[in-house]
Chains A and B, each alone.
Chain A
Amino acid sequence: MRTAKIVSISSSDQVGLYSICFNNGESEFRKFLKKFKDNAALNKDYQSILYALDRIIAKGAFERMFRYEGKMNDNVVALSLDSRKLRLYCLRMSDQILIVGNGGLKETRTYDEDEELSGYVMDLQKFDELLKQAQEEGSIYIEQNMITGIEEMTFRV
């Protein structure tokens, strides 16, 4: 059993970006940045992800910018990039709320053939369920670009 918290990583008038921290460690998105920022072989893909995030922060997390990666009834997506190698998985809650997870090099046809990538997707799917439950219970509220009450909550995953 792991504990998890949601932390804010960026906010603008258009969008609130969040990430997930397991067991009080650094956020999943920060791990992704550290893992790939000095990787010369994947630099083009990594840069494409940064440009997309830069645009999302300025404009919003619109549906067209993502491809669905999870199941029909969840909000798990990956950034839709020209590059087909590096994946960054996210939970798109709305045009104004994006929870950015971890990701990696996609070398198999589908993410679920890769243990590491499917682990990241399953973490987000589990979180999607927990967030829906917390919303139903009234513990958190999504208000435009903010998830009110989220940073005080600790989830058990």
Chain B
Amino acid sequence: MIEIYDDILREELAKIPPLTRETYFLTDSIAERIDAVMKAKGISKKQLAELTHRRPSDVTRWLGGGHNFTCKTIAMIQLALGEKIVEVAK
């Protein structure tokens, strides 16, 4: 049960288009999975940045939830972590 007590926030959230909400759900789910694998393997943001040759601030943005990942970035993270992040339904 979700209650929004601030009327401006309620109105602004109601304006989010279904496609945007679905997109954010997917990107955040990918971030959640990366975070879970990092925690399970004891890999820090700094280590993942080194493994993927990116900056730690890039890893922070990946984990934030709203990053629109390319397939190439996901493949790079999968290789670095040695775990599947995304699997396509068959």
A interface with B by C-beta (< 8 Å): 7-13, 19, 27, 29-30, 33-34, 37, 47-48, 50-55, 57-59, 62, 64-67, 79-82
Contacts and interface: CB of A to CB of B under 8 A. Distances in A.
Interface stretch (B13-21, B72-80, B82-90): B13-21
Contacts of B25: 55
B8 A33 contact: yes
Interface of B: 1-6, 8-9, 12-13, 16, 20-21, 24-25, 28, 31-32, 35, 60-61, 63-68
B16 A51 contact: yes
B64 A79 contact: yes
Contact of B66 (A7, A52, A57): A52
A33 B5 CA distance: 14
Q: Say whether chain B's binding surface is mostly helix, strand, loop, or mixed.
A: helix
Given A9-B5, A10-B4, A13-B1, A52 B13 contact: no
A12 B2 contact: yes
A64 B64 contact: yes
A67 B16 contact: no
Nearest to A37: B12
Ordered nearest first, which 8 A-B pairs have the shortest CB separation? A80-B64, A64-B63, A12-B2, A9-B6, A51-B24, A64-B35, A33-B8, A10-B4
A7 B9 CA distance: 14
Contacts of B64: 52, 64-67, 79-82
A6 to B, nearest CB: 13
B90 to A, nearest CB: 27
Contact of A30 (B6, B28, B35): B6
